[in-house]
């Protein structure tokens, strides 16, 4: 069975609801803080598993209650975490998340154990990757590790998907071994700036940036939907209309579902984007990150059989 491999971050999310997000220098009152598992890597792994894919994960946690709880929840979701190292005398990564009444968020990440992952950990983890597998990456771990993981998976014939979030400060070969780059409308503008392209509509950048960066691009744009280029034509997948409660984790849900769909049907990017958009829209109607990620039968009851991801 082919597998979605995920290398990325594991965080404990500290969540606070506020009436409006604070501006620079402003103090606002919020609700009591709640704690939940998260991290872009972990969220995307759970999303892929809930979409019906076999998923293996590599990241790092601290030897603390938060780290043990995160691994327990990932395992319950069907993610194989058997190779995740537990780092002594280092806290599990933490994300401080404020969400306002419109569902928009502000996030601060403290990496903790995420910064202690090594190339040797990744080499061991990816040694079983083969043609037909999918590797999903993000940028909440050091970019050097991301480049290394992409190279190791690429030479073994896997499809490499990179979510360039948080947006990088530089390019420096980051995309050399990436097949599909997934960004939102803000991140694609930052990438354009790094390549020297003046500000432009994100739909235009989906077409022009691959010529400079290399990989095909999928750009998500919130309630506007998602875009890519297929057969030299702009493809727009609209987002289902919903009342958003919390957008935290919506992008991770999209990417995890996208990876799972491409694992099952590598040639159907538009179909993968469609199911991923449905899953993401359902996620924003719920609070939290990982806990908001829907199961496949919730997104499309017709695909409720175990192991099915998207129709042929």
Domains plus CATH for the chain?
4-21+33-288 (3.40.1190.20)
pLDDT at 304: 53
pLDDT at 199: 86
Question: Is residue 30 within a helix (H) or strand (E), and if so which, with residue range?
Answer: none
With beta carbons less than 8 A apart as the criterion, state whether 105 and 247 touch.
yes
Q: What is the DSSP letter of 18?
A: B
Task: Quote the percentage of the chain above a pLDDT of 70.
Answer: 97
Question: What is the Cα–Cα distance from 132 to 146, expressed in whole angstroms?
Answer: 20
Average pLDDT of the residues in 133-154: 97
State residue 170 phi and psi, 5-degree precision.
-160, 170
Q: What is the pLDDT of residues 60-95, one digit of tens each?
A: 999 999 999 999 999 999 999 999 999 999 999 998
Catalytic residue among 63, 64, 252, 300: 252
With beta carbons less than 8 A apart as the criterion, state whether 6 and 41 touch.
yes
Looking only at the bridges linking them, the beta strands covering 11-17 and 93-99 are: parallel
Residue 171: strand, helix, or coil: coil
| Residue 13 annotated in active site | no
Residue 287: strand, helix, or coil: coil
Q: How far is CA 189 from CA 18, 112, 258, in A?
A: 28, 29, 22
Average pLDDT of the residues in 252-276: 97
Establish how many alpha carbons lie within 13 A of residue 34's alpha carbon, considering only the half-sphere containing its beta carbon.
Answer: 12
Residue with tokens 């993401």: 280
Residue with tokens 């073994």: 156
User: Which of 158, 91, 170 lies closest to 130, judged by CA?
Assistant: 158
Residues present in the chain in total: 312
pLDDT over threshold 60, residue 311: no
Q: pLDDT-derived band of residue 310, with 50, 70 and 90 as boundaries?
A: very low
Q: What is the DSSP letter of 33?
A: P
With beta carbons less than 8 A apart as the criterion, state whether 44 and 252 touch.
yes
Predicted TM-score of the model (pTM): 0.90
Q: What is the pLDDT of residues 171-224, one digit of tens each?
A: 999 999 999 999 999 999 999 999 999 889 999 999 999 999 999 999 999 999
User: Which of 229, 237, 40 lies closest to 140, judged by CA?
Assistant: 40
């Amino acid at each position: 069975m082919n597998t979605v491999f995920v290398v990325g971050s594991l965080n404990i999310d500290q969540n606070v609801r506020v009436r409006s997000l604070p501006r620079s220098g402003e103090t606002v009152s919020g609700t009591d803080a709640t704690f939940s598992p998260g991290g872009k890597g972990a969220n995307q792994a759970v999303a892929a598993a809930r979409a019906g894919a076999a998923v293996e994960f590599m990241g790092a946690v601290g030897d603390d209650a938060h780290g043990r709880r995160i691994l327990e929840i990932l395992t319950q979701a069907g993610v194989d975490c058997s190779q995740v190292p537990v780092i002594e005398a280092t806290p599990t990564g933490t994300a401080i998340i404020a969400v306002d009444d419109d569902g928009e968020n502000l996030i601060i990440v403290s990496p903790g154990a995420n910064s202690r992952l090594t190339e040797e950990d990744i080499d061991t983890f990816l040694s079983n990757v083969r043609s037909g597998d999918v590797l999903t990456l993000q940028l909440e771990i050091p970019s050097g590790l991301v480049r290394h993981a992409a190279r190791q998976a690429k030479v073994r014939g896997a499809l490499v998907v990179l979510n360039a979030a948080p947006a990088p400060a530089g390019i420096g070969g980051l995309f050399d071994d990436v097949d599909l780059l997934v960004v939102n409308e803000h991140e694609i503008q930052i990438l354009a700036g790094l390549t020297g392209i003046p500000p432009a509509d994100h739909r235009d950048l989906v077409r022009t940036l691959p010529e400079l960066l290399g990989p095909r691009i999928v750009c998500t744009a919130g309630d506007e939907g998602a875009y890519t280029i297929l057969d030299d034509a702009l493809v727009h997948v609209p987002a289902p209309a919903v009342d958003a409660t919390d957008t935290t984790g919506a992008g991770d849900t999209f990417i995890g579902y996208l990876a799972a769909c491409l694992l099952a049907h590598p040639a159907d990017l538009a179909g993968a984007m469609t199911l991923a958009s449905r899953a993401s829209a359902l996620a924003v109607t719920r609070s939290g990150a990982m806990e908001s990620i829907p199961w496949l039968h919730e997104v499309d009851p017709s695909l409720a059989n175990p192991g099915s991801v998207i129709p042929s």
